[in-house]
Amino acid sequence: MVTLDDVREIALALPGVTERVGGHTGEPSWRLPSGQIAWIRGPSKVDLRQLADLGLEWPEGPVLGVRVGSLEEKAALLAAEPDGLFSIPHFDGYPGLLVQLDIVEKDRLAEIIADAWLVRAPVLVAKQWLAERGLD
């Protein structure tokens, strides 16, 4: 099981990422100046009602929202990893998805957060980061 401390460690290791606590939920989020890449996400009353209407429930355990590159990427990830990744009606038409932290492995979460970072990172910083890892 991945913990909040694991999420924090992974996110803050990426260039330029800062943590903010607050907003309407009081939960932590991780962001670049260009926007949020990951955030702790609990269900709203509307989320719970919409899921119930679909015959679904919010999962037990902590959930992380992450930004993805496109709606196509979101669909592919959801199809490939239905046991750890999910979406809700609130995210319809939004390039983001939700990660069940008690299901996902730490290495996989690091990949997911790094991909979210790449969506928001400055191009030259992202290219350098990828090159340093032999991923260019």
Phi, psi angle pair for 97, to nearest 5°: -145, 175
Q: How far apart are the first and last CA of the chain?
A: 30
Burial of 58 from C-beta contacts in 10 A (0-12 / 13-18 / 19+): middle
Residue 104, φ and ψ in degrees, nearest 5: -75, 145
Q: Confidence band (pLDDT; 50, 70, 90) for 26?
A: confident
Residue 42 tokens read as 């609990």
What confidence category does residue 135 fall into, taking pLDDT thresholds of 50, 70 and 90? confident
pLDDT, one tens digit per residue, over 39-96 is 999 999 999 999 999 999 999 999 999 999 999 999 999 999 999 999 999 999 999 9
Burial of residue 73 (CB within 10 Å: 0-12, 13-18, 19+) is: middle
| Contact assessment for residue 85 and residue 78, using Cβ atoms and an 8 Å cutoff | yes
- The full set of domains in the chain, from first to last, is 4-132 (3.90.1150.30)
Q: Is the pLDDT of residue 118 over 90?
A: yes
